[in-house]
Amino acid sequence: MSAALFQLNTEHSPKKRWWTNQELAEFYRVSDIMAQAGLEVDSESGLSDEGDPWFVYVRSDTGDVIAHFAIIDGTFIAVSAVTQDLYRGKDIRSLIDQLVERHPMMMPSGSNGKVVLHPSILLTAFVAAAFVAASEEVQANTIEEVLEVALAINNGEKNTSTKTGSNTADPSQSTEVADEETGKEINAETAPAFNDLDAGKTFGSSFSLLGAIILALEISSRETALANTQQSSNSLNMQALTDLYSSEYLPVPSLVSASNPFSITDFNQDDVSNLGDSTQFHEPIPNSQLTTKKNAATLTTDLDSSYLGMQDAKMIASDSLINSPNTQNNSNEDFSSYSHLGDGGFSQATTSDSNLFYSSDTEQTSKTVRNDISEQKLSVAAIDIVSLVSGTVNNTSQKEDNLNHYSLDNSLITSFSSGPVDFDMQIASVKEVQENSTSEENSTKGEVLIPSLNIKGHLLSAEGPETLTLSNEVDILLYEGGNVSVSNFELGKDRVWFFLSEGKNLYESYKITESNDLVLEFETGDTLTLLGVLDTESSSLVL
Amino acid sequence: MSSFAQIKQINKNDSKQLRKEAGLWLRSLREGRRLSQRQLASRVDVEYYTFISQIEAGRGRVPTERLEIWAEALGEEVQPFAKRLMSYYDPINYRLVFPEAEMRHSDHSNI
């Protein structure tokens, strides 16, 4: 006679599941990003005998596993296969939070913990760091060592630094990567992974690897921006665009330096080709630097919930930003303010109802603009022209007051060009809902005006008229090209949107004439002239 | 493709195949001991038991410094165990060190 003893497991058994498509997509995206940076990794996934999924990254050249992800009993784990650094969390987002907690250097300085880093960036950082840690040349004990070294190099920290001019000796690494590292400095105190390295070949190779990790992060951040803006290209979804501006999609966080102001005006994937020269990095602008909010509205925006396990992620945009020449206004309020014009009242600006701008619920005529832009990566640009010409505007404070009445920020020109997507954009003249509420006589100074203005769209192209006189409504100029002179353009109320081809700068140069005309000159030789736009008297009168 | 690249590719494919064979061998040992992957992970002091599944799938390798504890966990003699895994993970050195015991892929699969 025999007896079998069965152990009754009374504990709740988490439901086993395979990776979601989103999770897999994110994993593969990391692979792609790393491949672009010259870090070739394979990946493989499988199920345990209990049905728990795992996913690993494997170095293509050696076959060694560098990072292991799994969901064990409902808990996400991430492990650096070499250093065995292990992270646990309820989802990948929480893993990433742990990564940030353990590696505070990854956070941008001065962020006060308010910045939400994009999951892809940190996921890539983790895998890329694991890749570097798995290199024989890099005698790192922990992921943190690798990250510290990489980020210290990237920050150009100068303590007991050792100058290196060595090029890569590793044929598997691109020379661009090595060149990018040439001349950079490494902080020996914060670089224990490199303390024991011999000079020469190994050193150069290590630097090329570190260059690769930086590249991976850079590409990750760039693609993050693109991925989000491309969402908007499908349906001209303003939410995505405003999310881009209002969120903190940072490049390698510590790359952000106040002493290194950005000169970029757009996000261009082609820029990746320039990554070999660190001086040509066109870093995505931390959007906190893009934002000017005179109304001091604290913006809380849901980040893309499609990212792995990313729930209830919020970011708070900084409201303490300034109008510096290198500061771009965001277009967030542009979109929201339009929508509120149609509401017949002004409330706290949000982006959730920005689609009102394109609402078909209008009584006025609408104008459909067909815009076919091909072979372009989405790029986004915003120019604060008030800042641009601030030296010539004498009555700024008065303008700003008026701008506040209209809930408009002082960004004048917003530009974006779209990806290879054909889209119809409907510029609707939004009829005011509460028509009886506004008259000039009833409006008292200091009171929030209820805008009674319609929105009118004007397509400006080489085939169109060369002159245009704007109305006293909110005029939106959609500039495709051509030599056009526009009169009655009112600062703070009217807008210009540029639709430019790939590779074109927003404008080549600008000049201000004696008659207070603002002339924007483009590479094509076309000019857009805003006649008398800087005539403060007329602007003030209008406003 | 250059000859060097071809050789490299062949070696890469061989290596991949050998690791898969190693994984199958380890799995057979574990199952022979009626151990679950979680139980084996516990015995070899691995926090995430999916690592066992990964190894058995032919991805990665048993760390050299862990060969002894793995052998014990699977009830194997350390030296033969290490030698066998060496033939999978490092076949070139294995053949140099043990020229008399050259093993082919098919030899492993028959075990």
Check A70 against B38: CB less than 8 A apart: no
**Mean pLDDT on A268-283:** 32
Task: State what percent of residues in chain A have pLDDT above 90.
Answer: 3
pLDDT tens-place string over residues A428-441: 223 333 344 444 44
pLDDT tens-place string over residues A246-263: 333 333 332 222 333 222
> Judging by beta carbons within 10 Å of its beta carbon (0-12, 13-18, 19+), is residue B12 exposed, middle or buried?
middle
| pLDDT at residue A13, as a whole number | 59
* Residues of chain B found within 8 Å of residue A68, distances taken between Cβ atoms: 48, 50-51, 54
Check A56 against B59: CB less than 8 A apart: yes
> Do the beta carbons of residue A338 and residue A455 sit within 8 Å?
yes
Q: Tell me, yes or no, whether A476 lies in a domain.
A: yes
- Considering its fold, how many domains does chain A have in total? 1
Q: Tell me, yes or no, whether A220 lies in a domain.
A: no
Q: Tell me, yes or no, whether A338 lies in a domain.
A: yes
* Residues of chain A found within 8 Å of residue B52, distances taken between Cβ atoms: 48
Check A86 against B48: CB less than 8 A apart: yes
Query: What does the alpha-carbon distance between residue A395 and residue A393 come to, in Å, rounded to a whole number?
Result: 6
What CATH number has the domain spanning B12-109?
Answer: 1.10.260.40
* Model confidence band, residue A21 (pLDDT cutoffs 50, 70, 90): confident
Res A305 pLDDT > 80: no
- Any idea which residue has 């000159």 for tokens? A521
| pLDDT at residue A171, as a whole number | 33
A161-164's contacts with Cβ under 8 Å and 24+ in sequence apart are A161/A185, A161/A186, A161/A187, A161/A188, A162/A186, A162/A188, A164/A203, A164/A204, A164/A207
Q: Tell me, yes or no, whether A456 lies in a domain.
A: yes
- Token couple for A72: 């064990």
- Token couple for A164: 């290196």
Q: Tell me, yes or no, whether A46 lies in a domain.
A: no
* Model confidence band, residue A222 (pLDDT cutoffs 50, 70, 90): low
A314: Cα within 13 Å, side-chain hemisphere: 6
| pLDDT at residue A156, as a whole number | 42
| pLDDT at residue A49, as a whole number | 93
> Judging by beta carbons within 10 Å of its beta carbon (0-12, 13-18, 19+), is residue B7 exposed, middle or buried?
exposed
| Domain coverage including residue A412 | 329-542
Q: In sequence order, which residues have a C-beta less than 8 Å from that of residue A466 and are 6 or more positions away?
A: A482, A483, A484, A485
DSSP state of A476: E
Tell me how far CA of residue A493 lies from CA of A33, A220, A434, A445, in angstroms.
Answer: 41, 37, 20, 18
* Model confidence band, residue A380 (pLDDT cutoffs 50, 70, 90): very low
Q: Which uninterrupted H or E stretch holds A382?
A: strand A379-383
- Token couple for A114: 């308010």
Q: Look at residues A169, A164, A168 and name the one whose alpha carbon lies nearest to residue A178.
A: A168
**Mean pLDDT on A8-31:** 74
* Model confidence band, residue A181 (pLDDT cutoffs 50, 70, 90): very low
Query: What does the alpha-carbon distance between residue A163 and residue A185 come to, in Å, rounded to a whole number?
Result: 5
Check A68 against B51: CB less than 8 A apart: yes
**Domain ranges for chain B:** 12-109
| Residue A296 φ/ψ region, left for φ over 0, alpha for ψ in the -120 to 50 degree band, beta for the rest | left
Of A54, A63, A77, the CB nearest to B15: A63
Q: Tell me, yes or no, whether A2 lies in a domain.
A: no
pLDDT tens-place string over residues A117-151: 556 666 777 777 777 666 655 455 555 665 555 55
> Which amino acid appears at position A374 of this protein?
S
The CA distance from A133 to the nearest CA of chain B, in Å, is: 15
| pLDDT, tens digit only, all 111 positions of chain B | 555 555 555 566 778 889 999 999 999 999 999 999 999 999 999 999 999 999 999 998 898 889 999 999 999 999 999 999 999 988 888 888 888 775 555 455 444
pLDDT tens-place string over residues A334-379: 322 222 222 322 222 222 333 322 223 323 333 333 333 333 322 2
DSSP state of A452: -
Which three-class secondary structure state does DSSP give residue A454?
Answer: coil
Query: What does the alpha-carbon distance between residue A29 and residue A25 come to, in Å, rounded to a whole number?
Result: 6
DSSP state of A109: T
Q: Tell me, yes or no, whether A403 lies in a domain.
A: yes
Check A50 against B52: CB less than 8 A apart: no
Q: Pick the residue with more confidence: A230 or A290?
A: A230
* Residues of chain A found within 8 Å of residue B36, distances taken between Cβ atoms: 49-50
Range scoring the smallest mean pLDDT among A1-10, A61-70, A388-397, A467-476: A388-397
Look at strands A161-163 and A86-89 and give their pairing.
unpaired
pLDDT tens-place string over residues A5-17: 444 444 455 677 8
**Mean pLDDT on A388-402:** 34
Whether B11 has its CB under 8 Å from any CB of chain A: the answer is no
ipTM, two decimals, is 0.86
pLDDT tens-place string over residues A58-103: 888 778 888 899 999 888 998 877 667 788 888 777 776 776 666 5
- Token couple for A393: 């505007």
* Residues of chain B found within 8 Å of residue A57, distances taken between Cβ atoms: none
| pLDDT at residue A110, as a whole number | 41
